[in-house]
Amino acid sequence: MCNLYNLTSTHRAMVEFARALRDLSGNLEPSLHVYPDRPAPIVRNALDGQREMVRIRWGLPSSKQALYQAASKRADKLRAKGKPVDFDLLLKMEPDGGTTNVRNTASKHWTRWLDVQNRCVVPFTSFAEPDPASKIEGERTPNAWFSIDESRPLAWFAGIWVPQWESVRKVRDGLETLDLYGFLTTDPNGVVAPVHQKAMPVILTTQEEVETWLTAPWSEAKGLQRPLPESLLQRVPEPQGAAVAAALSP
């Protein structure tokens, strides 16, 4: 599952490619390393119907079942220590770091956000997957990086976004109300599978695919949840500065 990607494209290239009418994303780093639960640029169908580029937090709401199970475990530990438990409050304040990738679009948890008004595209130039085969004993598992080619052209993940969701992302911050995003995954192609056998992001490489994702009914758009052809993806060197960013990551 992709939990790190890099973006080196310009504002202008992203806005023009996705035909965004508004750019509210502010200044972006020349090379942006994006980790879960951090803000990053997306192009979305805004609530007023306009297409805009903004920066929001990566990590969609986790399912009620997952949060209920986590809160139940926390409650059991408190009870075992003889402490009183207000389960409703405990559940409301259960930390949710967010779900970065969406695979099962038939799940009731996700179907409510699959219509056009909740779709977005997420710009990237390369993405990473942990590569256990390259791990040196005693050291952190290194990443394998993938891009369309070694020039790292602009491409997009097919994503969904959720407006003004109230949850606890970190205990120290308490309840927050945030716009959130994540992106779809699918079966890995032959380039990604040797590193990650379970999934790869859903990648869009043309303006036509971006338009379809942002405007077509789900019956048509869901056809884009497929592996990218192997000829359109390759393994590339780690982007400049990624090692430093990894050292600073959560």
pLDDT digits (tens, 9 = 90+) for 204-219: 999 999 999 999 999 9
Overall average pLDDT of the 220-245 stretch: 86
Tell me the pLDDT of the chain averaged across its residues: 87
125 neighbors 147 (Cβ within 8 angstroms): yes
Fold of 5-61+96-248: hypothetical protein yedk fold (3.90.1680)
Q: What is the pLDDT of residues 141-187, one digit of tens each?
A: 889 999 999 999 999 999 999 999 998 888 787 888 999 999 999 99
- Between 75-79, 88-92, 121-125, the lowest mean confidence (pLDDT) is in 88-92
Q: What is the pLDDT of residues 41-56, one digit of tens each?
A: 999 988 888 999 999 9
Task: Give the contacts of 13 (CB within 8 A, at least 6 positions apart).
Answer: 154
Length in residues, the chain: 250
Q: What is the pLDDT of residues 100-150, one digit of tens each?
A: 999 999 999 999 999 999 999 999 999 999 998 887 777 788 899 999 999
Asked if the model's pLDDT at residue 237 lies above 80, the reply is yes
Asked if the model's pLDDT at residue 249 lies above 50, the reply is no
Tell me the three-class secondary structure of the chain, residue by residue: CCCCEEECCCHHHHHHHHCCCEECCCCCCCCEEECCCCEEEEEEECCCCCEEEEEEEECECCCHHHHHHHHHHHHHHHHHCCCCCCHHHHHHCCECCCECEECCCCCHHHHCCCCHHHEEEEEECEEEEECHHHCCCCCCCCEEEEECCCCCCCEEEEEEEEEEEEEECCHHHCEEEEEEEEEEEECCCCCCCCCCCCCEECEECCHHHHHHHHHCCHHHHHHHCCCCCHHHCEEECCCCCHHHHHHHCC
Give domain limits for the chain: 5-61+96-248, 63-94
Q: Is 75 exposed, middle or buried (0-12, 13-18, 19+ CB in 10 A)?
A: middle
